[in-house]
Amino acid sequence: MNQMRRRLIAGAATSLLLASAKSSGAQSITPADRLKALGLELPPVSQPIANFVQSTRAGNLVFVSGQLPRKDGKMLNPGKVGAGVTVEQAKESAKLCALNVLAVAQAACDGDLSRIRSWVRLEGFVACVPAFTDQPAIVNGASDLVVSVFGESGKHARFAVGVDALPLDACVEVAAIFLTT
């Protein structure tokens, strides 16, 4: 019920923002506007924990390395789904991963998320027990956020797979590919 209420509130806030923009004659709503309407702030981009970069560009495609559900240096909901981590906790972790992906995307776009034309693919990894098979529901936490922030251009191809373990005992890891101007 709590999750349903949050979705309704987030949807209503986005709808109000869009309606306000239409009535005021605004050209378009920016991803930054949508983040603000959702009451979300992008965290600072963290330093990689190994020998890699947070993003790389190939032409107009930007590849964002896997992001963990870390905030202020702490892992949100460490462990495995089905062994101490609930589906709801993992879904919230996926949402935090997506916020971290957006922070890296913003840095890759010189601070302007409006430069993103479309999200190409979201890649979700879920640390879980072998019998767990609802990885898509967890990765929806990330997908829902991207679509809430980018609208139609946030719709993407995706995979959601279960794995035995993730770095630093994370329950979820999310990576992305997007197209820029």
Nearest residue to 157 via CA among 143, 137, 145: 143
pLDDT, tens only, 41-80: 999 999 898 999 999 999 999 999 999 999 999 999 999 9
Identify the band that residue 28 occupies on the pLDDT scale cut at 50, 70 and 90: confident
CATH code for position 144: 3.30.1330.40
What separation in angstroms does the CA of 46 have from each of 29, 87, 136? 28, 25, 26
Residue 18 has pLDDT above 50, yes or no: no
**Count of the separate structural domains present in the chain:** 1
Q: Where are the alpha helices (DSSP H) in the chain?
A: 2-24, 31-37, 87-108, 135-150
Structural domain containing residue 80: 2-180
The amino acid occupying position 62 is: V
Q: What is the per-residue burial (b if ≥16 Cβ within 10 Å, else e) of 23-55?
A: eeeeeebbbebbbebbebebeebbeeeeeeebb
Residue 8 has pLDDT above 80, yes or no: no
- pTM assigned to the model: 0.85
Q: What is the per-residue burial (b if ≥16 Cβ within 10 Å, else e) of 117-136?
A: eebeebbbbbbbeeebebbe
Identify the band that residue 25 occupies on the pLDDT scale cut at 50, 70 and 90: very low
Identify the band that residue 3 occupies on the pLDDT scale cut at 50, 70 and 90: low
Give the span between the Cα atoms of 15 and 19, in whole angstroms: 6
Q: Which two tokens stand for residue 1?
A: 């019920």
Q: Which residues pair with 74 in a beta bridge?
A: 71
